[in-house]
Amino acid sequence: MAKGKTVTIRVSEETFHEVKEMCSELGEAFNFNQFVNQSLSAILEVISHEGGDIPVPRFAMMVRLMKEYEEKHFSGFSKKEE
C-alpha cells in the first residue's frame, strides 16, 4: 500500500450528501475516501496540464461511464423480471 497522509477537509453538507449519494450509486466501486482522494488527484492533473485543451480527468470519465453503464444495462433488467 502506498504511503499517505491523513487530511481533514471541510465541505458543505450539500456537497457531502452529493458525494455519499454518488458513491452509493456506484456500489462497492468507491467509498467516500477513495472518491475524494481520486477527485483531488484529478484536479491536480487538470491544473498541471500543459496545452490548449484541458482534459476531462480520467477519474471523472470512469465514474461517469460506470454510472451510465449501470443505468443503461441494469435499470431496465429488474423491471423485466417483475
What pLDDT score does 82 carry? 46
Per-residue exposure over 32-46, b if at least 16 CB sit within 10 Å of its own CB, e if not:
eeebbebeeebeeee
31: left (phi over 0), alpha (psi -120 to 50) or beta: beta
- pLDDT(9) > 80: yes
Decide: helix, strand or coil at residue 26.
coil
d(CA 14, CA 77): 31
pLDDT tens digits, 25-79 = 777 667 888 888 888 888 888 888 888 887 777 777 777 777 777 666 665 544 4
> Is pTM beyond 0.75 here?
no
d(CA 7, CA 63): 23
